[in-house]
């Protein structure tokens, strides 16, 4: 049954163009601490030009770069940045993520709407993942300064690891304009998000907060308060958070009080917490500096 759904989705996409993918419109990840965005996890992040955001806060998702890629898709071309899917489709009959993501409930219902859009039009995504800052209380071995304020302090104090690519050094981030904005400073990308949020909220299927550690961000709690104060009568929103669950008990209890109210009062369709346990016990604590495994 699922294969038939995917076959139909692929055929519908190809009727528009061999590179057409709804995720370029319906899905976005925004790393606001760096002013970076991408739609789908395969294309690389690209910078959100601040001058575009000043003119129109919807440029957090609808950048000129992304609109160019959408135009290629609508004209039957395959954007180079999406080559992960093109390689799969070239090498086998397997479904690529272009098909899977376009078949999702946050994409499929909007096929006709999107295929007839002008490529220069703004579009409110239905699946949004956002990082408000890199504030984090952990310093995991596989992470880095872009996503952990603890790593920023480590790198400032000790410099990069003496590897061939200077692992977790800050010079590369500075040179590539990806240095995270400190969480205790004003961030124009976060300001733009809050201008967009009331409208964005109405169209959301899934909203996922990542980081950094979301429970250390005031913006996370502002989102929860907004959901409590502005209930969705259709209760269609799926709310998710990526959290290390290693914060102070007072913060965690405050968070759980709000989540419990959201659930008990049926403010959303569901709440999902994503957390990771890489290996076990002391080994997990070794690679995730700051983790207290039993907690």
Is residue 1 pLDDT above 80, yes or no? no
Read off the pLDDT of residues 167-177 as tens digits, 9 standing for 90 and up: 999 998 999 88
In this prediction the pTM is: 0.96
Tens of pLDDT, residue by residue over 65-87, are: 999 999 999 999 999 999 999 99
Q: Are 246 and 292 in contact (CB under 8 A)?
A: yes
Q: Is 80 exceeded by the pLDDT of residue 234?
A: no
Burial of 293 (0-12, 13-18, 19+ CB in 10 A): middle
Q: What is the pLDDT of residues 82-120, one digit of tens each?
A: 999 999 999 999 999 999 999 999 999 999 999 999 999
Residue range 7-49, pLDDT digits in tens: 999 999 999 999 999 999 999 999 999 999 999 999 999 999 9
CA distance 238 to 236: 7
Cα→Cα distances 181→36, 38, 151, 212, Å: 12, 18, 14, 12
Rounded CA separation 141/23 (Å): 31
Q: Contact 251/216 with Cβ under 8 angstroms?
A: yes
Nearest to 191 by CA among 98, 53, 75, 81: 53
Q: How many C-beta atoms lie closer than 10 Å to residue 136's C-beta? A: 26
Both structure tokens of 265 = 């009062």
Per DSSP, what are the bridge partners of residue 129?
29, 208
**pLDDT value, residue 177:** 87
Q: What is the pLDDT of residues 247-292, one digit of tens each?
A: 999 999 999 999 999 999 999 999 999 998 889 999 999 999 999 9
- Spans of all domains in the chain: 2-127, 139-175, 205-289
Which string of DSSP letters, residue by residue, matches 135-161?
A: --S-EETT--TTT-HHHHHHHHHH-S-
């Amino acid at each position: 049954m699922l294969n038939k759904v995917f076959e139909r989705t692929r055929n519908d996409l190809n009727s528009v163009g061999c590179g057409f993918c709804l995720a370029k419109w319906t899905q976005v990840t925004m790393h606001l601490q760096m002013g970076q965005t991408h739609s789908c996890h395969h294309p690389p992040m690209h910078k959100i030009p601040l001058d575009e955001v000043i003119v129109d806060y919807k440029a957090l998702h609808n950048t000129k770069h992304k609109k160019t890629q959408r135009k290629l898709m609508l004209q039957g071309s395959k954007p180079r940045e999406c080559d992960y899917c093109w390689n799969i489709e070239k090498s086998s009959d397997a479904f690529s993520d272009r098909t899977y993501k376009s078949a999702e409930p946050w994409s499929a219902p909007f096929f006709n709407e999107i295929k007839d859009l002008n490529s220069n039009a703004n579009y409110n995504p239905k699946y949004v993942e956002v990082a408000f800052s890199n504030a984090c209380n952990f310093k995991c071995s596989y992470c880095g300064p872009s996503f952990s304020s603890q790593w920023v302090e480590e790198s400032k104090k000790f410099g990069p690891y003496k590897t061939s690519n200077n692992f977790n050094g800050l010079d590369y981030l500075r040179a590539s304009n990806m240095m995270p904005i400190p969480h205790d400073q004003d961030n124009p990308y976060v300001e733009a998000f809050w201008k967009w949020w009331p409208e964005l909220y109405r169209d959301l299927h899934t909203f996922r907060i990542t980081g950094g550690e979301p429970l250390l961000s005031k913006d996370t709690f502002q989102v929860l308060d907004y959901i409590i104060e502005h209930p969705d009568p259709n209760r269609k929103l799926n709310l998710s958070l990526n959290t290390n669950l290693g914060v102070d008990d007072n913060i965690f209890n405050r968070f759980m009080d709000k989540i419990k109210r959201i659930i008990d009062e049926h403010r959303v369709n569901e709440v999902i917490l994503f957390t990771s346990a890489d290996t076990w016990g002391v080994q997990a604590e070794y690679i995730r500096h700051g983790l207290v495994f039993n907690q």
